[in-house]
Structure formats: structure tokens, C-alpha cells
A and B are shown apart, each in its own frame.
Chain A
């Protein structure tokens, strides 16, 4: 039983390591901040969760504690990436777009040059 837990923990740690590596590769290859955040957030959430859980499996008396850590990671990781993305847009860093400007519908909230144009059109 204990041996089984050890093997399960090792496999889980390997999976987590692979996902973390792919996340790092994604940060290296993606063209702009938002896509990098996409790769980074997902990979670190699942990768970190499985690595921490694997530690819980290797050391069964820590399992409940690692469960709490996993819950905290699942709650806090997306919030931090959301904050980074929003702050990044607010600062004026526009996303990389392949299809043209209509693919950025968030523009209407923050782009100051956009609003006078619309008013002129109406008048």
C-alpha cells in the first residue's frame, strides 16, 4: 500500500514537472503578454497542484495540508493572472492580433482616442 502511494506520487510529480516545463516553453514561444499569461497560468496551476499533491502522497501524514495548499493555488492563481492582464492593458500594452482590430473588443473601455471619433460620427 505504501509502495503504491510512493509510485503514484512519483508519477504525479513527473506529470506536474512535464506540465511546468511546457508552461515555461509557452512563456518563451508566445508572442505577447496575454498569450504568455495563458500558457503560464494553466501550466503552473495544474503543474503546481500535481507536484504538491505528489508530495502529499509520498509523505501521507502531510496529505491534508497539501490539499489545503492545492485549494489555495486553485483560488489565487487565476486571480493573479487576471490582475496582471488587466494592469497590462491599462498600462497601454495592446494584445497581439492576427485578425485585425475588431478582434480586440476590450478597446472600447480604455482607448481614449476611440471615444471622440464615435461622437463625431453621431454628430
Chain B
């Protein structure tokens, strides 16, 4: 990935500007001309100094199929979040407190920082797991009910379904 190429910088800037602008539109929830113009100008101004800290995402590998996978990921994620809450509720309510906690580690095959962040966030919100640290490509996960100490099995158990979709997106 050419980090210094001007094309990359421009798409990065446009991406930042677009995202800020969309957030502005959603917050004002109106399409009145003056609001839209003000929003465009303000988000343009903010995007100039902040875009290089904000993201490394380039738009060059973006396709409709990516959008489909993002939606698929959202559904997997929401389902996992619901299951996680029911799981925690079950553990909390049951009088014996059935937990067997521990911190396990596994290596991921994702390369970009953004993808790793998404994976770590998803892991935190899925049943019984909480990401404690990422060092290079090793994830350290606190697991409320440890089922295995083998890194590969942990990876399948914790990150399997997310990683598959994320590898298609990035």
C-alpha cells in the first residue's frame, strides 16, 4: 500500500470528510440548504487537520460485495451481542455462579490495524469474552468460561465466525 501517494491522501481526506458530513446530516436531520452548506464547510475544515489521524482506510478496494459483507457482519455481530447478554444474565442469575475464568491467547491472520480493532471490539461484545490486549498479531482474551488453552482452538471458538467475514472485507 503506497502510503505517500497523493491518490491515497485524497481518498483518505474525502473519506473523512464524507463520514463527518454524514454524521452532521444525521444529527441535524434536515436537508435545509443552509444547514447542508454549513455542514459541508465545517466538516471540510475539520477533515483537513484530522484526516491523517482518523483513518488509513482507502476506498480503492471498495465494491458492492464489500457492502454486502459489512451488512452480513452487522447481523452476525448483533446476534452475538444478544446471545452474550443472555449468557451473562444466565450466569449472574444462577445461584452457583458458574464461571471458570482465565486469560487465553491466539494469533490472528488479519493484517490491518483497523480490522484488528473491529475484531477486538466484537470479541468484547460476544459471549463470555473480553479482549485485554493486542500485541502485534497476538490477542489476549479474558474468557469467563475457559474451554480450551490451545491457541488454535481458542481462535476457532472465539474469533472464528468474525474472522471469516472480516478477511473478506479487508
Chain A residues proximal to chain B, CB less than 8 Å = 19, 22-23, 25-26, 29-32, 34-35, 37-39, 41-43, 45-47, 61, 64-65, 67-68, 74-75, 77-79, 81-82, 85-86, 89, 95-99, 102-107, 109
| A103: chain B residues within 8 A (beta carbon) | 100-104, 146, 149
Asked whether A65 lies within 8 Å of B27 as measured between CB atoms, the reply is yes
The answer to whether B12 has its CB under 8 Å from any CB of chain A is no
The smallest beta-carbon distance between B123 and chain A, in angstroms, is: 8
Give the segment of B37-45, B47-55, B132-140, B155-163 that binds chain A. B132-140
Given A82-B130, A85-B130, A85-B132, A45 and B125 touching (CB < 8 A)?
A: yes
* Extra inter-chain contacts (9) besides given A38-B130, A106-B140, CB under 8 Å: A26-B92, A31-B97, A39-B92, A41-B130, A75-B121, A82-B120, A103-B102, A103-B103, A105-B105
Would you mind naming 25 contact pairs between A and B with Cβ atoms under 8 Å apart?
A: A19-B85, A22-B88, A26-B88, A29-B92, A38-B88, A39-B88, A39-B91, A41-B124, A43-B89, A64-B27, A65-B26, A68-B26, A74-B125, A95-B101, A95-B142, A97-B101, A99-B100, A99-B146, A103-B101, A103-B146, A103-B149, A104-B102, A105-B102, A106-B132, A109-B133
